[in-house]
Structure 1
Amino acid sequence: MNARDDLPVLRTLRELAAVVLSTPHLYVRWSRGPVADEASAESRDGLTGIRLPGLSANPLDVEPWWQDRSAELWVARRLYDYSHLPHDKGEGVRPWVLRGRVGGRGPDNEPLVRDVKPIGWIGESVIEEAQRAVEEQERAAEWGPMRRRGG
């Protein structure tokens, strides 16, 4: 993995969505960053401690069933679903975008990514914007209640 922690920072949902739309096979990973992950190039199952064959990440590609809906809202949802991880995993954990090859699936059916190429950090302002976008959808009754809260 050719990784550095001085990656560019994506600062808006619009900017992140543009990257997702222009670059296929992107993932978001919540960790202390590429350099910290480079040492092991693998994740561990949180329940059993078993080593997993790749880095646990979540896909950012917009699914075809999303049709012509907003890519920004898609990305917001993908971030919102896991925005609790910095709180759960501790200080220094933040989201970053990577490209790579799926080497398997983790215990939550998440992709385990190998041959990782870091793309950029996702700024805290993007997470805040994502939370507002999802909460606005909930208030507008366009989505059912998420029954979970980020952060």
Structure 2
Amino acid sequence: MPDKDPADLPTLGTLAELMELTRLTVPLYLRYSPGPIADLAHPSVDHESGLTMPGHSANPLAVPHWWTLPEEDWLARRICQYLREVHEGARPWVLTGDVADFGPDNEPLLVDVQPLAWVGRGLVTEALERYHTRFDSGRALH
């Protein structure tokens, strides 16, 4: 990891651009971290146990079969799920790789990671607007 210099990665600015990228025939994932270069030096760690994990944690972008809402809604939800990590110095980016195992939240742990694109501020803003418009994120389940 990585084949390309992260400075040369394209930046996705809209949900439409992200949707176009999902048409690739490889599984795509979303990761929040300082970036591909920083990940080379710092493997993912389970924060509760302190154990080093056998890959980098990421979230799948593939829309599950049960999802009947627009694909944009799924992607917006995935982007918004870990936005708090941006305030902790992380940056969202899209990648592919091989699943080595699963983390404590059942997230895939990737090896042989290939960075594909950064997620730009415009895309994050669009995802947030769509997420808050389309979902009842504050509803508690009983």
Deviation at 1:5, TM superposition (A): 1.9
Is 1:11 the equivalent of 2:8?
Answer: no
For residue 26 of structure 2, the aligned residue among 15, 24, 27 is 24
Give the letter for the 1:135 counterpart: H
For residue 41 of structure 2, the aligned residue among 22, 39, 43 is 39
Deviation at 1:147, TM superposition (A): 2.6
Structure 1 SS opposite 2:32 = strand
2:49 matched residue in structure 1:
48
**2:44·2:55 contact (CA, 8 Å) conserved in 1?**
yes
**2:15·2:126 contact (CA, 8 Å) conserved in 1?**
yes
Deviation at 1:61, TM superposition (A): 0.8
**After superposition, what is the alpha-carbon deviation per residue over 1:89-117, rounded to whole angstroms, capped at 9, x for unaligned?**
x23x1100000011111111111011101
1:66 matched residue in structure 2:
67
Alignment of 1:2-151 (within 5 A): 2-3=2-3, 4-6=5-7, 7-40=9-42, 42-67=43-68, 69-87=69-87, 90-91=88-89, 93-138=90-135, 145-147=136-138
State the TM-score, normalizing by the size of structure 1.
0.84
**After superposition, what is the alpha-carbon deviation per residue over 1:12-38, rounded to whole angstroms, capped at 9, x for unaligned?**
111001111334311011000000002
CA distance in structure 2 between the aligned counterparts of 1:24 and 1:128, rounded to whole angstroms: 26
Question: Alignment identity in percent?
Answer: 44
CA distance in structure 2 between the aligned counterparts of 1:26 and 1:62, rounded to whole angstroms: 10
State the TM-score, normalizing by the size of structure 2.
0.89
Give the letter for the 2:131 counterpart: V
Cα distance change of structure 1 residues 115 and 44 upon mapping to structure 2, 3 Å threshold: same
